[in-house]
Structures are given as C-alpha cells and as structure tokens.
A = this chain, B = another copy of it.
Amino acid sequence: MSPTARTVPTTSTTACAGRRAAGGRDWLERAEEALTAAGRRRGEARRAVLELLNNQACALTAIEIEDALRTQRRVSRASVYRILEELEELGLVQRVETGQAMVRYERVADQHEHHHHLVCGGCGVVMPFSDEGLERAISSLSERVPLTVSEHEIVLRGECRDCAA
C-alpha cells in the first residue's frame, strides 16, 4: 500500500487536532452577511455546513462534513461540495492540501489567524501551526518570483509523538 494514499483513520470531526475553535461567532455572522450580499437565499443544508465549519479548529474533508452532519440533518454530498465551492469563491473557506488524496476545507479566519499544517504520516492526524519567521520569508520571497503570488501553503510531514513512541 502506498504510504500517502492509505485510508486515514479519521473520526470525522476529530481529523484536525487542537482545541475546538472558540471565537468563531464573527465568522458565522460574516458568512451569512456575505452570502446575502451575494444575493443568495437561505437553505438549511448550507446553514448546517456553516455551523459545523464554525466549530472546527482546523480543516475537514467533504466526506467528513457529510458524515458529521448525518446525525442531525442529512446533507447530500453534492450539496456539501457545492456549498464549499460557493464559500471558497466568497473567500469564507479555503482549501487545504495535506497530501492525503482528498482536499480539506476550513473557514478563513476573520483577521489573520492564518496557519499551516502538520501531518502525521502514521495516524493521519492534521494539526495547525503558524510561524512569524516563516511568513516573513514567504512574503519577501513572493516579490522575487516570476508569479503574482496570491496564496501559499505549507505542509510539514513527519511523525506525531504518539506514533513516534
């Protein structure tokens, strides 16, 4: 079995370690406003997805979102993807590639609660991190490169403490 394409044992909402997001209240409100401003109607499926994303500390996959909502309100897979795409276009959500063969999504923080990801190759757990020095290096670099850089993504891979033990 290929090490990176393995089935990652993620228990839906615990895929990304770390404290459950606390002060996301603003994000939910901001999201609702942005959607209304964009001329969108309200729907229960989308509201459920928004609420779930608002309570996450880190990125979820579409399937994890579908599973997590199954108990409270069945949301079709197509809807999950459609909603995530809308939210991404409005800059409310961002895609995260962790090298696990599926895309993860997370809400875009109000200010710059900007972060990147640590991925354990053993158990598949995903953890957020951020670093000032790294961001400085990136932004200075972005000036000297033959591309108008609009986003960047950094993934550190290795073994978490549990797996290394």
**Which residues of A approach B to under 8 Å, CB–CB?**
2, 4, 81, 85, 95, 97, 99, 101, 103, 118, 120-121, 127, 129, 131, 133-134, 136-138, 140-142, 145-161, 164
Contact = CB atoms under 8 A, between A and B. Distances in A.
Contacts of A121: 150
11 contacts: A2-B81, A97-B155, A129-B141, A131-B137, A131-B141, A133-B141, A134-B134, A134-B137, A134-B141, A147-B160, A150-B159
Nearest to A138: B134
B146 A161 contact: yes
Given A152-B157, A154-B154, A157-B153, A118 B147 contact: yes
